[in-house]
Amino acid sequence: MLEDGDMPDLYATEDIPLEEEVVHQRWLHPTSDHYRLVVEYDPRRDLAFGMVHGLHDEWRYFDIAELKEAGGYKDPTWEPCRYADGTKSIGRS
């Protein structure tokens, strides 16, 4: 489960344009440059919605428990920001 109690529930921000979504967390993987940007979260199912940056960048749902089992971890330096600003700070658009 995620620790961020201020994160919107799934579907709570679906009327917000994707570039304007607030990214609350960034999840990394130790053996690749792939990452996930979390904008919504359902703690009952440990399910998040956000941008998955990898071989094919796409907005989708992903299971946090599965991500952790695969070695994923929350970026401790990430500060919540708009998606458009976050991707600029990472160096990707």
Positive or negative, the CA dihedral 39, 61, 37, 63 is positive
CB neighbours of residue 21 within 10 Å: 23
Is pTM beyond 0.75? Reply is yes
In our burial notation (b when 16+ CB lie closer than 10 A, e otherwise), range 51-90 reads: bbbeeeeeeeebebeebeeeebebeeebeebebeebbeee
- Cα separation, 83 vs 50, in Å, equals 10
Bridge partners of 25, per DSSP, are: 38
| Beta bridge partners of residue 40, listed in sequence order | 49
Indicate the helix (H) or strand (E) that contains 66: helix 64-69
pLDDT tens figures, 58-91: 999 999 999 999 999 999 999 999 999 988 888 7
The domain limits of the chain are: 18-90
Average pLDDT over residues 34-52: 95
Which pLDDT belongs to residue 14? Answer: 92
Using 50, 70 and 90 to split pLDDT, how confident is the model at 93? very low
